């Protein structure tokens, strides 16, 4: 008898905004496999940049008590690109996530996170910024689960997207599943056009539209990488994102 | 310097300016007063080229150029400064960063060499000092967390740095405390009261006009200039109100 493995489709909640054709074409390993990372109690692990990964990359992280995992990533390539991160936090552990999605052409690019606060006093903070143009789609699906005895959980997630033209899109899907009663979970999502008032104010002071836009986009993107302690690494990430943004523009 | 003739403009398809004419020569200070909703800010935005403010008839000529042909940033580079009634907050972009880009973009537009970091900071410090604003405030994001009065003061610091030929100042006085009003008024005089410059002050109050004394005062109502006069007109308006004076 052959092994039956159910492969995800866009009917699955966590894959609902994915590119259907890309899923059908992807290998079963890519769709169901996980990279794994263990952060020992009290230790810190940090990922800055983009993993040497395929279009679909799934990472499962366990953070021991008092440990810390930080992940900062930029999605700006590929027709369908998905970064899925599942993090389980033990007592007092912390997860920090900063993601930037730049969408152009017909691309679908998305971050999908699942943060499990398995024990008390763990904290998590997720900030995703997306800029979408042409007919691209940028998504953030963020699920937070708080276990029954995970009291004093503090979980935050925030998504903002700028759509540069009609036809570009972005989707936010925050999900909270909370079984403890003494928890703080904050989430926010906003999708909109470029700030027209700010753009005119800048123009009125003499900034050409492309310069004004670069300043606004830089500030917007920088939010997601603000938690990178190392200034050089932070500036490098912002610089890469901005360069990718400029390159994607005609 | 600026000649506006029979200007008609719509906002969201609604006619707001309905045949406005006004001539401003170099060396002059003009004040525009008028009831709420008359179209004063619309005049400023239209001259600044704000998207959505559509000119349907008439002309505006600035230093011999067709102003309405220029993009908003080109109007700034040509020497037009618009002081906003409600200055816009720009999170994540510092005043220093913003203004250095602005100065150098304008210089580039005029074919001038950019200012170095040091030169720009000296200029910014000088103008902040003129307006009695702490230089540290310019390190903060543009207008974010500034009080109403601080925003207006910051507008004038920007005007000092950008050194325009013509400044249209939309209620720069509202929101200022009594001392700040004097500082701002004297700042306007120091920066703009020059033979080759001109100012159009949009205001509701005589108090600013006591410091920045206008050569001409106009009443804008219903999208047109309905009355013009000297400084005495402002005082008459203050005493009697628009209805009595315009009727
Ligand atoms: N986006 C818009 N859509 C529709 N009407 C608008 C819009 N913007 C402005 N208006 C209208 O245009 C008219 C003129 O507004 P404007 O802001 O120019 O007045 P103002 O003279 O500056 O008034 P105030 O003294 O209150 O500042 C008002 O009736 C206002 O409601
Ligand atoms: Mg107004």
pLDDT digits (tens, 9 = 90+) for B156-215: 999 999 999 999 999 999 888 888 899 999 999 999 999 999 999 999 988 999 999 999
Per-residue pLDDT of chain A (250 residues; tens, 9 = 90+): 444 568 888 888 889 999 988 888 888 888 888 999 999 999 999 999 875 556 899 999 999 999 999 999 999 998 999 999 999 999 999 999 999 999 999 999 999 999 999 999 999 999 999 999 999 999 999 999 999 999 999 999 999 999 999 999 999 999 999 999 999 999 999 999 989 999 999 999 999 999 999 999 999 999 999 999 999 999 999 999 999 888 875 4
Please give the number of the atom of ligand 1 that sits closest to the Cα of B35: 25
CA dihedral A228, A229, A233, A236 (to 10 degrees): 60
pLDDT 10s digits, B43-93: 999 999 999 999 999 999 999 999 999 999 999 999 999 999 999 999 999
Q: Which residue in the block uniquely carries the two structure tokens 């308006």?
A: B237
Contacts of A196 in chain B (CB under 8 A): 51
Contact B98 A196 (CB under 8 A): no
Which sequence spans correspond to the domains of chain A? 2-194
The domain segmentation of chain B, as residue ranges, is: 2-246
Domain B2-246: homologous superfamily in CATH: P-loop containing nucleotide triphosphate hydrolases (3.40.50.300)
Torsion sign over Cα B186, B191, B197, B199: negative
Element (H, E) at A128: strand A123-132
pTM: 0.87
Best mutation site among B10, B13, B41 for ligand 1 pocket (most ligand atoms within 8 Å of CB): B41
Answer whether B162 sits within 8 Å of A206, measured CB to CB: yes
Dihedral angle sign, alpha carbons of residues B204, B206, B212, B215? positive
User: What's residue A54's pLDDT?
Assistant: 66
3 state DSSP class of A1: coil
Contacting A with CB below 8 Å, chain B residues are: 48-51, 71-73, 75-77, 81-82, 84, 87-93, 97-99, 101-103, 105-106, 109, 141, 158, 162
Maximum Cα interatomic distance, chain B, rounded to a whole number of Å? 56
A contacts of B105 (beta carbons < 8 Å) = 206-208, 211
Contacts of A11 (CB under 8 A, 6+ apart): none
Residue whose Cα lies nearest atom 28 of ligand 1: it is B37
The CB-side HSE value for A67 (13 A sphere, CA atoms) comes to 22
Residue of A nearest to B158 (CA): A205
Query: Which of B220, B199, B229 has the alpha carbon at shortest distance from B16?
Result: B220
Interface test with B, best of A195, A201, A203, A206 (most B CBs within 10 A): A206
CB-CB under 8 Å, A207 with B87: no
Give the mutation candidate from B70, B90, B151 for the A interface (greatest A CB count, under 10 A): B90
CA distance B220 to B200: 13
Cβ neighbors of B183 (< 8 A, separation 6 or more) are: B131, B132, B153
Measured in degrees and rounded to the nearest 5, phi and psi for residue B160 equal -60, -40
Burial of A135 from C-beta contacts in 10 A (0-12 / 13-18 / 19+): middle
Measured CA to CA in angstroms, residue B165 lies from B81, B127, B199, B237 at distances of: 8, 16, 8, 29
Straight-line distance from the first to the last Cα atom of chain B, in angstroms, rounded to the nearest whole number: 31
CA distance A242 to A244: 5
């Amino acid at each position: 008898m052959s092994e039956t493995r159910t492969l995800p489709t866009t009917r699955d909640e966590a894959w609902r905004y994915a590119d259907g054709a890309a899923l059908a074409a992807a290998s079963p390993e890519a769709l169901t496999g996980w990279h794994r990372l263990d952060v020992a109690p009290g230790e810190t692990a940090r990922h800055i940049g983009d993993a040497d990964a395929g279009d679909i990359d799934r990472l499962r992280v366990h953070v021991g008590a008092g440990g810390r995992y930080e992940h900062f990533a930029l999605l700006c390539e590929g027709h369908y690109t998905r970064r899925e991160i599942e993090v389980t936090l033990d007592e007092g552990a912390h997860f920090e996530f900063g993601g930037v999605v730049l969408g152009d052409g017909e691309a679908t690019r998305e971050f999908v996170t699942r943060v499990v606060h398995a024990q008390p006093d763990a904290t998590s903070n997720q900030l995703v910024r997306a800029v979408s143009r042409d007919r691209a789609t940028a998504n953030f699906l963020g699920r937070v689960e708080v276990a029954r005895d995970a009291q004093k959980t503090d979980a935050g997630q925030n998504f903002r997207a700028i759509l540069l033209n009609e036809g570009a899109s972005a989707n936010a899907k925050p999900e909270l599943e909370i079984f403890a009663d003494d928890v703080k979970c904050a989430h926010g999502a906003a999708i909109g056009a470029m700030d027209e008032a700010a753009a005119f104010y800048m123009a009125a002071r003499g900034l050409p539209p492309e310069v004004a836009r670069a300043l606004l986009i830089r500030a917007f993107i920088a939010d997601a990488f603000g938690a990178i302690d190392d200034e050089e690494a932070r500036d490098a990430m912002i610089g890469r994102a901005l360069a990718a943004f400029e390159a994607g523009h005609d | 310097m600026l000649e506006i003739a029979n200007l008609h403009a719509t906002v969201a398809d609604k006619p707001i300016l309905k045949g406005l004419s006004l001539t401003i020569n170099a060396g002059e200070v003009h004040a525009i007063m008028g009831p709420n909703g008359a179209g004063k800010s619309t005049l400023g935005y239209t001259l600044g080229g704000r998207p959505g403010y559509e000119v349907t008839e008439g002309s505006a000529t600035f230093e011999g150029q067709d102003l309405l042909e220029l993009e908003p940033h080109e109007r700034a580079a040509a020497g037009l400064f618009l002081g906003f009634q409600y200055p816009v907050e720009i999170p994540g972009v510092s005043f220093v960063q913003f203004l250095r880009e602005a100065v150098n973009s304008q210089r580039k537009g005029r074919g001038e060499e950019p200012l170095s970091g040091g030169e720009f900071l000296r200029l910014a410090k000088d103008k902040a000092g003129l307006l009695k604003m702490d230089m540290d405030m310019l390190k903060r994001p543009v207008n974010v967390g500034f009080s109403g009065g601080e925003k207006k003061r910051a507008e004038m610091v920007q005007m000092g740095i950008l050194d325009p030929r013509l400044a249209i100042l939309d209620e720069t006085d509202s929101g200022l405390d009594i001392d700040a009003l004097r500082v701002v008024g004297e700042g306007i005089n120091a920066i703009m009261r020059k033979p080759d410059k001109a100012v159009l002050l949009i205001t509701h109050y005589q108090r600013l006009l006591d410091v920045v004394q206008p050569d001409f005062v106009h009443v804008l109502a219903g999208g047109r200039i309905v009355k013009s006069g000297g400084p005495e007109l402002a005082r008459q308006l203050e005493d009697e109100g628009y209805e009595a004076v315009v009727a």
